[in-house]
Amino acid sequence: MNSATETAVGEVFEEMPQEKRARTDAGDEDPPWSSWAGLQPDALGVVLSFLPCLADRARVRSVCRQWRAAARGRGVAPPLPLLVLPRFRFAGLTPGGVLAPARRAWMPPELDADNAYCVGSSDAWLMGAAGPAGGECFLVHAFSHEVRRLPPFGTSDCSLRKAVLSASPESGPNSIVAAFIIRRSKPELALWRSGMKSWRVCRHALLAGHVDIAFYQGKLYMLWRFMPCLFSFELGEDERGVTVSHMKDFMIEKLLPSTLGLYHELSCNMVEWSGRLLLIIRYYGGYQPRSRVKVKVFAVDLSTYPVGLAEIRSFGSDCIFLGSGGGKTFPAGQHGGVEA
């Protein structure tokens, strides 16, 4: 976004310095001057309903342990999303529907922050790549600043395009990282989990140059971006770590209605919504470049053969974000004045 402003590398979202601030509840008990700790959680919940921005919620959580627990309690609407923009910049949404000024995320000092970019996320964990060719891979927590390094891909002619995590990195070996890379102009799927010394690379003729990948119900799914072709990967284990044990083509392109015409193009994405895997197809055409003609959304039923496709015409009070890093859903209806 051209209108977004950017601070120096040594700053993070909402002007917090790169070094971590000392919490007021660093000891076993709250300090005696923290009279705010006595505020009842119900009253604090009312206050939080008027503070939907993520930066304000972060300030509330930093007051004391009681406030942090109340901010995460039941009945408290989640904060408005924090968008990760190119070059590891954050921008928070405001109740008015506009983006707050973007600021550079905290980066480990030893990394090439000017060439770092985000390729995926899991909750507050962001996966990034740094260096001219994305040779350095790492996971960084957006708020605690914890960094976990991943093995490099080993070659300078490798470009990391996208990555997804099966679970939070805090779950240890249960978290699998799947990365889509381009090496020597050829697409590859790379897999890694905690304990592996290197990436496990899968090469297949069905790996296209532009894909969307996502974990859903324990399996890894891949969708071609410019043609609705859906594939699944069953993951297994061997002496070298996690590997692909089976690949399946669902051939959903034969179940979908025909495209709009010979001179139109489409873009496909996947996202999980209300426990279902959605296929989102945006059709483009017309005289203007990338002029959107219409959008179709289908819920994919993977329990039948052939798979079932049910068109979705409304998300209710929810909203969906689509970007180069994938898709996310958000319960907009929990916030007054926020449109679905």
Tens digit of each residue's pLDDT (9 = 90 or more) over 211-258: 999 999 989 999 998 889 999 999 999 998 999 999 999 999 888 877
| Verdict on whether the full-model pTM lies above 0.75 | yes
- Distance in Å from the first CA to the final CA of the chain: 22
CA distance 278 to 149: 32
Q: Angle 92-94-95 (CA atoms, 0-180°, nearest 5)?
A: 150
CA angle 335, 338, 340 (to 5 degrees): 105
Measured distance CA(207)–CA(280) in Å, rounded:
20
Residue 133: its pLDDT value, please? 54
pLDDT of residue 330: 85
Q: What is the pLDDT of residues 256-300, one digit of tens each?
A: 877 556 557 888 999 999 999 999 998 887 666 667 678 899 999
Average pLDDT, rounded, for the chain: 79
Can you tell me whether residue 45 is helix, strand or coil?
helix
- Name the percent of the chain lying above pLDDT 70: 81
pLDDT of residue 20: 44
Closest by CA to 59, choosing from 123, 92, 16, is: 16
Residue from 77, 84, 73, 15 nearest 52 by CA? 77
